[in-house]
Structure 1
């Protein structure tokens, strides 16, 4: 009985270790997903960066892409370091469990050997048959028989448990060896990633040095950009004002209602006996999809184009010109040549215009919300067209040597930061 208690205690120890391993596996899965996402971002920005570096002259777009890649590379180094530390924790857990198991297994084997020794000594004095037939009654004979049967079975089970634990120890040793190899590989990978980071920072310094020599040119570009942004603000404000003052309902809805009215009049002449059927028109709703309205889709809007945020919402320092501030009513997303720009939500195309410095601009209405897609090379939609989520609006245009769009979200006349509205990549 005492021996069985020790077996049970050992199994409890093993279950505790398995639970700790499960928690470590959860951390491992989360880390691996982060690493995968980071590698995808690095690959995406690398393609964009390669496009900008094909240009004859350095550009603000290139410096933004390098800055983004430096951030990604630093994140990569951080994740590799986390991986090394996690492996260290895993190895410590393995070593601790291995030491405990080895000690307990040694004790179990020692006790099992003593039990066999005592049994062999007793068996020389009294055989099993002698033990049985020395019973004083049939009932006692039966009880002694059951005892011998259980004793033999318990001994077999104890041996099975000892072998099982020994096998688990061998597996732990293999896992520990694998972890050591993985840790060494990651240490070497970390050295390479640090070298890659140094190369990026050297490139950043060279591009900044080159751009600083073209200060007047950059200032001229900035003034041109400010004028384009001012024109865009005026345009969107006028479009929203016109929509609110001259249209109680969107044009597409009005046209649908007019068509239905004409159809109803025609049908009433031939089917006067039929009761009138009323239909409800739903504008800018998404009942067949996950979100019922634009506001409910916050944090889950799809990206208008593949790429990275090259300029964030609000006021910040110019990436090159010292002491110069730049303002953005939305976000700029740098992308690849020929990248498709898509609607982030279903709605109605309210306006399509051309603005010097921002090429084609598409404005889409989603009830009281509006999304704006500026600097499009081509446009695939028309005014008053209803569009679906992810429907292609056109392609991204080039700006000062790199491809980039400006994306804005307005709530009535308030300009919102689009970044929190987009799904995390």
Structure 2
């Protein structure tokens, strides 16, 4: 009985370990799938936009993203190889444990058959039964023979089950070895593709370095445009917040007597509504809340981190914050948001419902739309055209314009502000 318990325990541990590894396997496969989607999207947009032979900053940004995705692909493949090594080691250990259990059961079964063959020469089953001294003893001997037969059947069943599990482990192990070898070959192929991308990157950088003077002029214009954008949005937010303060001030009663009268009047109204209709207070509160949310476009924007829809279908070509210029050595560039490259004339959509706070035209960034979501604001810069108007209520994913060209590629600059603080938009965007 102890051997059977040990066998069941071993099988359970094997299954639990397998389930845990499957979870790691599922996570890895999901990451590989997302990375392949990124690679496909960059290739698609590049094929649609980079038809001109002239090198551009937008092109080098896209190539840089391709290199990053390709490096991720290789790293994920290497992780897969390491995970397979762990899986193979566990399969081999489980296989050894099962083989040990099988040998033990086979030995035990052989001993049982041997004992039975020796006893069969001395006394038959019928003789064993009818040699009982009483009916009670006859019954006990019968139950013993019945249990003995069942035990033999159970032994055979366990031997067969373990044998099948061993065969399955051997098949799985072989499949893992084949998969591992295929991944090793894939890493070699992808490494060559990565080298080709880096060579292409070097050629574009070399070509752009010959236009250093032009690039510096463009960088100055770009910095001026971003400074203008920062000023326009800050002023629009300040104006809106001042207007809110004025509105709040006007609503405050001028004297205590007026305030007390207003409170008494409100209490009378509430009592009257309670008498006329059940649950009227809850309905009034719900209606006021809904109207307020609709008016300021709040709708709990702060709880939408990692859930926001993308403003345009594309890939992040320039990240948030300060980093080295992609071509000019020794120069830094700062981004208050993220740049997203997209297909030509791609629709730009509101990432969340809100109210249009401001629409401006800024040289170098074309049209800019700012949408208010309570104390949060989203900014969509470099739009070719605009489909909304100031103070207009916009819905989630409502089109507000189309993407314009910047640095030789269709690209928007997307920002998220919390009052006057600029946030990194990337962690706020959900999966596509």
> What range is the shorter-chain TM-score in?
0.7 to 0.9
CA-CA distance at 1:384 after TM superposition? 1.6
Distance in 2 (CA, whole Å) between partners of 1:418 and 1:37 is 19
Who is 1:229 aligned against?
A: 226
Match among 280, 286, 304 for residue 288 of structure 2: 280
Structure 2: state its 5+ residue gaps: 248-275
Who is 2:398 aligned against?
A: 391
Distance in 1 (CA, whole Å) between partners of 2:243 and 2:18 is 65
Show CA shifts across 1:7-51 (max 9, x none). Answer: 221221121111111111111111111111111111111122333
Match among 335, 349, 365 for residue 358 of structure 1: 365
CA-CA distance at 1:141 after TM superposition? 1.0
Who is 1:257 aligned against?
A: none
How high is the TM-score relative to the length of structure 1? Answer: 0.88
Who is 2:237 aligned against?
A: 240
Who is 1:195 aligned against?
A: 192
Who is 1:78 aligned against?
A: 75
Who is 1:218 aligned against?
A: 215
Distance in 2 (CA, whole Å) between partners of 1:381 and 1:239 is 17
CA-CA distance at 1:284 after TM superposition? 7.3
Deviates more, 1:114-123 or 1:408-417: 408-417
Structure 1: state its 5+ residue gaps: 251-273
Who is 1:115 aligned against?
A: 112
Q: Is the 8 A contact 1:354 1:361 kept in 2?
A: yes
Distance in 2 (CA, whole Å) between partners of 1:315 and 1:283 is 41
Q: Is the 8 A contact 2:49 2:343 kept in 1?
A: no
CA-CA distance at 1:374 after TM superposition? 0.5
Distance in 1 (CA, whole Å) between partners of 2:418 and 2:162 is 65
CA-CA distance at 1:246 after TM superposition? 4.0
Show CA shifts across 1:183-231 (max 9, x none). Answer: 1111111111111111111111111111101111111211221222222
Match among 95, 100, 107 for residue 103 of structure 1: 100
Who is 1:264 aligned against?
A: none
Distance in 2 (CA, whole Å) between partners of 1:246 and 1:112 is 90
Q: Is the 8 A contact 1:345 1:389 kept in 2?
A: yes
- The 5-angstrom pairing of residues 400-415 of structure 1 reads 400-415=407-422
Q: Is the 8 A contact 2:49 2:344 kept in 1?
A: no
> Superposition RMSD on alpha carbons, in Å?
2.4
Aligned residues: 397
CA-CA distance at 1:377 after TM superposition? 1.0
How high is the TM-score relative to the length of structure 2? Answer: 0.86
Higher share in helix: 2
> For residues 15 and 249 of structure 1, do their structure 2 counterparts lie closer, same or farther at Cα, with a shift above 3 Å needed?
farther
CA-CA distance at 1:424 after TM superposition? 5.2
3-state SS of 2:288 partner: coil
Match among 336, 343, 346 for residue 339 of structure 1: 346
